[in-house]
Structure 1
Amino acid sequence: MNALSPQDLIAVIGAGAMGSGIVQVALNAGHRVALYDAAPAALAKGVASIDATYRRLLEKGKIDAATHADRTARLLPAATLADLADAALVIEAIVENLDIKASVLGEVEALLGEHAIIATNTSSLSVTAIGARLKRPAQVAGLHFFNPAPLLPLVEIVSGKATSPEVADTLFATALAWKKTPVRCASTPGFIVNRVARPFYGEALRLLADRAASAATIDAILRDAGGFRMGAFELMDLIGHDVNYAVTKSVYDALYQDPRYKPSLLQKDLVDAGWLGRKSGQGFYPYGENAVRPEPAVAPDAPRPSNIIIEGDLGVAAPLAQLARDAGLEVAVTEAAGRALLWIDGVAVALTDGRSALRRLADGDPAGVVFDLAFDYAGGSAIALAAADLAQSGALQTATGFFQALGKRVLVVEDVPGLVIMRTVAMLANEAADVVQQGVASAGDTDLAMVNGVNYPRGPLAWADLVGAATVQRVLANLAAAYGEDRYRSAPLMLRHALNGRPFHTGEPV
């Protein structure tokens, strides 16, 4: 598996932000790079942007004068497509329109040598369909960078139906040589990242629509308890609701309106209003010089408890026992088959299993208060709690006092099934399992993509291994029962792992 040589000419079509970023990646790897744009003004702007980036790096001492001169000398503005004829690899980064992409690539294909590789940076269109419009579909693949391309490590190597394995291998090796993190996947809607990430946005929007908590509170839970770099609402504001909504709708339509990917009316309303997020000055949050960001709803201080009993195995929440001891609380442990409860001054508290606390009480379970999953119970700064309407008087305050004694900020949400992190992780893991089941990508590449493409704190399948596939499957089943929707159906592979007890990763989790 050989990478393209630094002596090989790389061509990039499209001088926008993505195209200019890809040019920098190839220049940094030592290639000559020809940059073409059908609009001369756009080409000039792209070249100026690349030069300005290198000037800033020079001023900051990140590169020296010789490196600056070398890289800018290897950037070759192309006046016509004919100037790309000697390229070993052409990367297209133009408008997301199949007809336009195919037309431009058809023109350049006629100019290239027979072994030249044609790559599209599309994030949503079918690589198979693009290849089918060309004369040498075996030479066509997806090379999907993430914006900003010079900074984000992930590159999805996307094989269409006719893509030659040798072409995919060359692109994989080339991406490695360019100091990127490549993953392989098949050409299906959303590839890996844009498909697997849909529940991160979708469940947050569903929770907001159900009035489980404010956007600021849900974001704080995802960040401070879940370990995600950004909350779903602030991330959607950063991406732009027009873009995020369009991707969701594209995946939803491409997968024949599968309810898992159903767009949210809340987000459509923002798009219709022109509240697109940071770029418009208003999204879920206000932006601008005098904007006041709303604060999450943090529970007030509650009394410190005195009597803690752990009944059964807390599973992934087991670190709470040592945290309690470290906080100076007396902790007793009792065996109980099939039970996992925290008794706090006589109040039963449990990790959510996808049921609401009210549903648990109705099922004869004593836990009238439930707490959410966390990325790291020991190191995280927050925890989410919910209590049933029929929970005993003061139960929520008692549970709040316990977690505050452990040094946690307590964020209270309405008694919704699965709370925030547990349902989000279950849905992300379920989507990842379907990607693996359907042969889109391997378990390792799927998790690698989510960690490196969207900065998840842990790969979804690695998280399923930690929580247990049986727990994930149980959460999904309880969500499906609560909502009565196919949206929460278990992926066949998730159910299989729940039954056979095998992890998705046999080595170190990603």
Structure 2
Amino acid sequence: MPVHSSALSRELPVGVVGAGTMGAGIAQVAAMAGHSVRLVDAREGAAESAVQGLRQRLARMAERGRLAPEEAAAIGARLIPAGGLAELAGCGLVIEAIVEDMKVKRELFGELETILAADAILATNTSSLSITAMAAHLERPGRLVGMHFFNPAPLMALVEVVSGLATDPTVAGTVFETARLWGKAPVHAANTPGFIVNRVARPFYGEAFRLLAEQAGLPATIDALMRESGGFRMGPFELTDLIGQDVNAAVSRSVFEAYDYDPRYRPSLFQRELVDAGRLGRKSGRGIYDHAEGATKPEPATAAAGPKPQRIVAEGLRGPAEALLDLATAAGIEVERREQGPGLIRLDGIVLALTDGETADEHTARTGEPVLLFDLALDYGAATRIGLAAPLRASDAQRAAAAGFFQALGKSVSFVGDLPGMVVMRTVAMLANEAAEAVHTGVADAQGVDTAMRKGVNYPAGPLAWAERMGTRRIVETIDHMARAYGEDRYRCSLGLRRLLWQTPHSGR
């Protein structure tokens, strides 16, 4: 792993190659941290235009009271448009943010080697290309490191510091400490496809498209459950429409191919259909949703009001769902708690259980009584919507009774198809599985993975911390049950996740 190093001195200038949105954002971050920044772009006038735009942005920040006027002026003065690469001589660090093309980046770094001092650091903002391959043709490959910012760079906290096979640990350490000094949350990552975020996040999109293909529910319902129950800022379909279906699909395809077509990363055929149809999301006016002016956003499917139960019996209910009992008491429902039992709630002739990857039909067939499943929530107290799955033969009255219980607690209810893992549980389990695999294979440590997912894509909790909080055993059981139901290697449980379970054998359900 990279060793501890000191940050780059503020006395040393920083060079940024590429004056597009990302390059300009990186330049702003470095200048605000106190460095003189030289911004260069191959397009005539692009660097000058970017610097002018940044100075205007700084002035607006001063007008809004976010910066003192003199501070904004000083930062702006540190931003210098450069006429060419030769003007980067003397920089202690040069970060490229140009086109994602290996040949072009290699040529750039080869030229920079002839310009910069021997101890200057070369950094690439690539989100997907191999640092090892990029450095292979350099005379000093040890000084090239990944410094992957997230867009918009001034606002997003995460920086992935990626070490290739030849990267000098001291160089990676210096970049890590520099990013920290710049006010970022850096994490070390090994040079693997997708690094941390673009790899670990694949199930967030992949499972949503899989659920859609299996008719679990409409996109608006799945999105609402992920937001209102899972605590994510955006649902997967909203987010892919924002990112661009073509961009998201390209990243999924890239990771799939880079991992030799591992089924865990298999892209969605339906997403490919969207791209082929030109339905790219917000930028094209239509994707999963219609983004045309005046278009009405579809509402999630919401169950009609059901009867409030007078009394419930909880048998062995522990873990995150136990919070439902306090909510029920507060709602005026009589609650009988029994310490022993399989972890369920009995009411009005039905059984409610937190999904564990088996379907409601499986639970019902095994127990001989109607079992309706409810989905995972980040926080059952704060959740405003709960997903329910009913067995095929559930009556309307049984479905209404299940809905009525959660509605009495102040929740909206959405019924989804009776599929393994439901919506939130399925997604969180697969995110935790991928996170554990990343740790197991040395991509990053557990803290780095969780930090990356919270800071890079704004997850409400790190996948590994979330799994520990809800009980690693239930996560493992959920994945194992999905693997059995589907018979696909896509749902194989990571040895890293099983090891977490073995280390805490009594982790709750």
Bin for the TM-score computed over the shorter chain: over 0.9
Q: What runs of 5+ residues in structure 1 fail to find an aligned partner?
A: 505-510
For 1:143 and 1:365, the matched residues in 2 are separated by 57
Q: Matched residue of 2:139: which SS?
A: coil
Whether the aligned pair in 1 keeps the contact of 2:240 and 2:248 (CA below 8 Å) is yes
Corresponding position of 1:406 = 409
Of 51, 54, 60, 1:56 maps to 60
Whether the aligned pair in 2 keeps the contact of 1:470 and 1:497 (CA below 8 Å) is no
Alignment of 1:195-344 (within 5 A): 195-337=199-341, 339-344=342-347
Whether the aligned pair in 2 keeps the contact of 1:465 and 1:503 (CA below 8 Å) is no
For the pair 1:381 / 2:384, whether they are aligned, the reply is: yes
Corresponding position of 2:432 = 429
Deviation at 1:312, TM superposition (A): 1.5
Whether the aligned pair in 1 keeps the contact of 2:453 and 2:462 (CA below 8 Å) is yes
Can you list the C-alpha shifts for 1:413-461, whole angstroms capped at 9, x where unaligned? 1111110000000000000000000011000110011011111001000
For 2:432 and 2:503, the matched residues in 1 are separated by 17
Whether the aligned pair in 2 keeps the contact of 1:199 and 1:428 (CA below 8 Å) is yes
Q: Matched residue of 1:179: which SS?
A: coil
Corresponding position of 1:174 = 178
Deviation at 1:52, TM superposition (A): 2.5
Q: Matched residue of 1:318: which SS?
A: helix
Instruction: Name the amino acid aligned to 1:465.
Output: E
Q: Matched residue of 1:119: which SS?
A: strand
For 1:64 and 1:501, the matched residues in 2 are separated by 51
Corresponding position of 1:490 = 493
Instruction: Name the amino acid aligned to 2:169.
Output: P
Instruction: Name the amino acid aligned to 1:153.
Output: A
* Aligned-CA RMSD value: 1.4
For 2:430 and 2:368, the matched residues in 1 are separated by 25
For 1:21 and 1:201, the matched residues in 2 are separated by 27
For 2:414 and 2:262, the matched residues in 1 are separated by 32
Can you list the C-alpha shifts for 1:324-353, whole angstroms capped at 9, x where unaligned? 00100001122434x111101121111001
For the pair 1:14 / 2:22, whether they are aligned, the reply is: no
**Identical-residue share of aligned pairs (%):** 52
Can you list the C-alpha shifts for 1:54-77, whole angstroms capped at 9, x where unaligned? 122122232233222212211111
For 2:506 and 2:11, the matched residues in 1 are separated by 44
Corresponding position of 1:88 = 92
Can you list the C-alpha shifts for 1:356-405, whole angstroms capped at 9, x where unaligned? 10122233363521000000011111111010112355211101000000
Corresponding position of 2:188 = 184
Q: What runs of 5+ residues in structure 2 fail to find an aligned partner?
A: none
Q: Give the stretch that moved more between structures: 71-80 or 365-374.
A: 365-374
Alignment of 1:4-83 (within 5 A): 4-83=8-87
Q: Matched residue of 1:472: which SS?
A: helix
Whether the aligned pair in 2 keeps the contact of 1:311 and 1:342 (CA below 8 Å) is yes
Instruction: Name the amino acid aligned to 1:480.
Output: A
Instruction: Name the amino acid aligned to 1:347.
Output: I
Q: Matched residue of 1:407: which SS?
A: coil
TM-score by length of 1: 0.96
Deviation at 1:290, TM superposition (A): 0.8
Q: Matched residue of 2:303: which SS?
A: coil
Of 472, 489, 492, 1:469 maps to 472
Q: Residues 150 and 503 (structure 1 numbering): CA distance in 2 closer, same or farther, change over 3 Å?
A: farther
Q: Matched residue of 2:283: which SS?
A: coil
For the pair 1:363 / 2:366, whether they are aligned, the reply is: yes
Instruction: Name the amino acid aligned to 2:392.
Output: D
